[in-house]
Amino acid sequence: MDIANSVAIVTGANRGIGEAFVRALIGQGAAKVYAGARNAASAQHLVDEFGDKVVAIALDVTKEEQVAAAAAQCTDVSIVINNAGAFLNQRLIGADTMAAAREEMEVNYFGVLSMSRAFAPVLKANGGGAIVNVLSAGGLCAMPVMGGYSPSKFAAKAATTCIRAELAPQGTSVTALFVGSVDTRMAASVQGKKERPEDIARVGLSAIKRKLDEADTDRMVLEVRAALARDPKGHERALARMLNAESLKTGH
């Protein structure tokens, strides 16, 4: 599939990986990119930079009426980038309530499903197209330090496989894009080396062109896969020790 002359919609497009996707799409010749954000004004800087090649739209993926309105407005879309995500950094058991875990599931799983359902007919009408779901190394192995984020990404990974099967007859490719630690505001609390958002977007667009079912974007994802293949139980215990160390450090 060619990026040149395509029309895309990117959720969570106002910053981080989403903004990098907008820039990469325009850079590779996309005719138009709809930049979805909860507050459309937060993506205005992209409109100012790229003119009529970028259209900022109000899009909260947890609100079905906004998703439906986006699908009704953006009938020329051939690429859907499900990038919007939530990481609230609370424990499953240690949190005072389940509110954070519910929000992470609403954004990271149900948001992906809602967008895919709404835009499937649009993609079919435009020849099939592609969906890219931005997932996480936390969706490959359960990471206790991430609380509800990791389970929500597991759910999104499973949904991606199911959506791919359902949309195969209409010629829509559906890619699971696995991301490790990236230099974004969402990952501000994460320590260690972080990848550049523009490198993640570059791999994502390559996956679209090659119609890959899955694509790993960085070293962290590869290391997680290797650790799971080598010693899955040992990896689980190591992650549990990280949780305990963090608990000791913070007093929680």
**b/e code 140-166 from CB counts within 10 Å (16+ = b):** bbebbbbbbbbbbbbbbbebbeebbee
Residue 205 makes CB contacts below 8 A (sequence gap 6+) with 3, 21, 24, 25, 28
Using a 10 angstrom Cβ sphere, with 0-12 exposed, 13-18 middle and 19 or more buried, the burial of residue 174 is: buried
CB-CB contact of 96 with 83 (8 Å): no
The token duo for 45 is 């800087």
Q: Residues 78, 79, 80, CA angle at the centre, nearest 5°? A: 125
Catalytic residues: 149
